[in-house]
């Protein structure tokens, strides 16, 4: 059967071009590269397997890292897929931007194609242009390309090869091919590992799309930070590996790793001004509206609409992360997941929701994405249970924590430096479970800063107390432990009266406050 391209899809009644669904865009991308002899490879889990350098899978190339490093041989030399990605930590962290604009996300799908020492820059550039302009029918006059301008510190020259290829294998004029430095056009997975220069494709959505019109001195341009020019596709040419000392070593082969965010592509092809207005998010927004009684209106700089965007983004991240094995906790990956969930719960208060609600959104996420990622269908009930339990636990302290924050914010507003004290921020964290970034977020909404230096000092003091308490209790146990023998009758008693000195909860020693029902703690006795 002949495949029908996007340009050939027409409504039989009106003759107008059909608006592609996200599902059609995803499958169309994969089919396009299958026609270019690429093998489809399923997404790897969000929780990296056998890679301690990453908290979460943050790019499509993560599962192919050993191939790039020459540690394993590729099964296929051309690959395409849609990778589940989570960017909430380290070099790639978009958490704080979510909700403020139309295009940042924690969880997203990365459409990508790879070459393992097969084709290189020419084909990657040509095929990306072909898919965007001929298959998906995006106007070439709206597209811009960027290339790597070089970096003296790393001893890297400008990528003149990519610059030449753009005007040679596509119809883009030279004046729309711009060179940028390492920050914008040199891609690195992390502080160490495979990396290389990249060439990005940006789209000009028009003057009305700018979200920085009120910013003094702002001029719309590629990489200027506004939403008029949006990056659609990043073509990474992996040629190096950065070692622990920061040195770049050439790889033994050349690789292509491209990434196009499905959410941004969908917004363009569906004619939406925001990723959050596409069929990937609107079913979630609609459900949030039904639960809260509010309506999503797509406005920026609006507390209600910001809350919708945060919640619809965060529930997707939670569903996929928990499905793949993450669980809310106070350490590592679990702490990040807990932060995401608590952040969403706090934004729920902006919509008047004081009872657990996030778990009710899980079925909507499954309906939207379950066909492409069947694992979220299989674990939906488990994910709902985990989220509801965490929401309920945090909800018991959230409202009281907000009251304490309000008092701290009022004190800060009356100070000349408009700063919430480190002591107040620490109390909100230590007693009510507010992560520091949540206090900072709420403070920023009121034009307030937070004294993070003092907060960090208090955190370290608490850690020292916890370490001392743990050492002390361990010593007492070791000092009083009776040797195991077969003569059990020799022991005269199996209980004694003791005084409780405090408890250890989430790695911290405490002797004041309260313990939530059913919480697990270590009790320190005299």
Q: How far apart are CA 396 and CA 496, in angstroms?
A: 35
Torsion of the alpha carbons at 442, 447, 452 and 458, rounded to the nearest 10: -60
In CATH, which of 3.30.70.20, 3.30.930.10, 1.10.10.10, 1.10.1670.10 is domain 6-269? 3.30.930.10
pLDDT in the model for residue 14? 45
Indicate the helix (H) or strand (E) that contains 114: strand 107-116
64, two tokens: 């192919």
Q: State the burial class of residue 111 (Cβ atoms within 10 Å of its Cβ: 0-12, 13-18, 19+).
A: buried
Query: Which of 211, 202, 184, 20 has the alpha carbon at shortest distance from 99?
Result: 211
pLDDT in the model for residue 471? 56
Spans of the chain below 50 pLDDT: 1-14, 474-491
245, two tokens: 């000392």
- Say which residue the tokens 């969930």 belong to: 341
- Which residues are CB-contacts of 210 (< 8 A; sequence separation ≥ 6)? 218, 220, 226, 227, 228
Specify whether the CB–CB gap between 116 and 149 falls below 8 A.
no
252, two tokens: 């033994």
- Bridge partners of 179, per DSSP, are 147
Residue 159 CB neighbours (<10 A)? 22
pLDDT in the model for residue 487? 45
pLDDT digits (tens, 9 = 90+) for 326-337: 989 878 888 889
pLDDT in the model for residue 431? 80
Q: How far apart are CA 265 and CA 25, in angstroms?
A: 8
pLDDT in the model for residue 44? 92
pLDDT in the model for residue 480? 43
Please report the sign of the dihedral spanned by the C-alpha atoms of residue 107, residue 112, residue 115, residue 120. negative
pLDDT in the model for residue 1? 29
Query: Which of 337, 393, 408 has the alpha carbon at shortest distance from 505?
Result: 393
Specify whether the CB–CB gap between 396 and 516 falls below 8 A.
yes
pLDDT digits (tens, 9 = 90+) for 239-276: 988 888 889 999 888 899 999 999 999 999 999 989 99
CA distances from 268 to 39, 145, 203, 231, 485 (A): 26, 17, 9, 11, 74
- Which residues are CB-contacts of 339 (< 8 A; sequence separation ≥ 6)? 88, 95, 435, 437, 438
pLDDT in the model for residue 508? 62
Q: How far apart are CA 291 and CA 184, in angstroms?
A: 40
pLDDT in the model for residue 91? 53
């Amino acid at each position: 059967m002949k495949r029908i391209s996007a340009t050939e899809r027409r409504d039989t009644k009106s003759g107008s071009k059909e608006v592609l669904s996200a599902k059609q865009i995803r499958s169309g991308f994969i089919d396009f590269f299958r026609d270019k002899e690429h093998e489809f490879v399923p997404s790897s889990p969000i929780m990296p397997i056998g890679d301690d350098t990453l908290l979460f899978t943050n790019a499509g190339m993560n599962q192919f890292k050993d191939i790039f490093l020459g540690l394993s041989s590729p099964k296929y030399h051309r690959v395409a897929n849609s990778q589940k990605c989570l960017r909430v930590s380290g070099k790639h962290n978009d958490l704080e931007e979510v909700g403020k604009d139309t295009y940042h996300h924690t969880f997203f799908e990365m459409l990508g194609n790879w070459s393992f020492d097969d084709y290189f820059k020419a084909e990657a550039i040509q095929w990306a242009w072909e898919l965007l302009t001929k298959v998906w029918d995006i106007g070439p006059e709206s597209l811009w390309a960027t290339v790597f301008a070089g970096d003296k510190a790393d001893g890297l020259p400008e990528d003149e090869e990519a610059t030449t290829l753009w005007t040679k294998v596509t119809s883009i004029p030279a004046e729309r091919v711009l060179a940028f430095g390492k920050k914008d056009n040199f891609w690195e997975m992390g502080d160490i590992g495979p990396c290389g220069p990249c060439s990005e494709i940006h789209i000009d959505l028009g003057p009305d799309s700018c979200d920085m019109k009120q910013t003094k001195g702002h001029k719309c341009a590629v990489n200027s930070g506004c939403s008029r020019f949006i990056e659609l596709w990043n073509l990474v040419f992996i040629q190096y590996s950065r070692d622990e000392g920061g040195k770049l070593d050439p790889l033994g082969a050349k690789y292509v790793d491209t990434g196009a965010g499905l959410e941004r592509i969908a917004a363009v092809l569906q004619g939406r001004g925001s990723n959050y207005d596409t069929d990937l998010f609107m079913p979630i927004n609609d459900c949030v509206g039904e639960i809260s009684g509010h309506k999503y209106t797509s406005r920026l700089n609006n507390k209600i609409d910001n809350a919708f965007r945060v919640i619809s983004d965060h529930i997707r991240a939670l569903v996929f992360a928990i499905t793949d094995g993450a669980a809310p906790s106070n350490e590592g990956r679990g702490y990040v997941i807990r932060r995401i969930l608590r952040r969403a719960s706090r934004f729920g208060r902006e919509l008047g929701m004081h009872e657990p609600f996030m778990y009710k959104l899980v079925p909507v996420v499954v309906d939207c994405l379950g066909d492409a990622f069947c694992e979220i269908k299989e674990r939906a009930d488990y994910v709902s249970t985990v989220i509801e339990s965490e929401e309920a636990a945090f909800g018991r302290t959230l409202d009281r924590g907000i009251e304490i924050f309000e008092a701290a914010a009022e004190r800060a507003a009356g100070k000349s430096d408009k700063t919430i004290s480190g002591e107040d921020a620490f109390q909100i964290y230590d007693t009510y479970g507010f992560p520091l970034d949540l206090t900072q977020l709420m403070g920023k909404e009121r034009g307030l800063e937070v004294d993070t230096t003092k907060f960090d000092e208090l955190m370290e003091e608490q850690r020292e107390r916890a370490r001392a308490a743990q050492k002390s209790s361990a010593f007492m146990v070791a000092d009083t432990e009776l040797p195991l023998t077969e003569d059990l009758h020799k022991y005269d008693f199996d209980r004694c009266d003791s005084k409780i000195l405090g408890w250890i909860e989430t790695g911290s020693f405490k002797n004041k406050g309260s313990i939530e029902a059913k919480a697990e703690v270590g009790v320190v006795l005299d």
